[in-house]
């Protein structure tokens, strides 16, 4: 029985029907999806923290405290990528415009691990 919590940066109010946020650090909320045996078991959301100067690592701390094991993003900068790696949270590149589409891609195994070559510039 494999249990895992993933996070998807989302626009308010979060949930499966919410739009995915293009910029993880500036998203309104993180939709948290609990997956067990490759099925969605529970959906919740947590508000993002203020994104101030040097604040790229604050969402890492927030999600670590929420028990997140992976985050599915469209992109992120080098510093938060390193932060997630050091926290033991997998950073995966997802597709789709809604949280549901991103989660479906995750469940299908179509979300590759983010590498240093994928990072956004200027972060």
pLDDT one-digit tens code per residue, 99-116: 999 999 999 999 999 988
- List strand residue ranges (DSSP E) for the chain, in order: 3-10, 29-36, 39-47, 70-73, 90-93
The residue extents of the domains of the chain are: 3-116
What pLDDT shows up at residue 102? 96
Q: Give residue 79's pLDDT band: very low, low, confident or very high (50, 70, 90).
A: confident
Examine the pLDDT at 75 and tell me if it is beyond 80. yes
CATH number of 3-116: 3.30.420.130
What pLDDT shows up at residue 121? 60
| pLDDT (mean) for 87-97 | 94
| pLDDT (mean) for 80-95 | 94
């Amino acid at each position: 029985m494999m249990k895992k919590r993933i996070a998807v940066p989302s626009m308010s109010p979060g949930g499966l029907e919410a739009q995915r946020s293009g910029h993880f650090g500036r998203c309104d909320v993180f939709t948290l999806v609990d997956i067990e045996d490759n099925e969605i078991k529970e959906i919740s959301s947590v508000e993002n923290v203020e994104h101030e100067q040097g604040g790229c690592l604050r969402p890492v701390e927030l999600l670590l405290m929420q028990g997140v094991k992976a985050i599915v993003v469209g992109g992120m900068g080098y510093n938060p990528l390193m932060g997630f790696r050091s926290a033991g949270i997998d950073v995966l590149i997802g597709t789709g415009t809604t949280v549901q589409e991103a989660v479906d891609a995750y469940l299908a195994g179509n979300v590759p691990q983010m590498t240093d070559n994928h990072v956004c510039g200027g972060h």
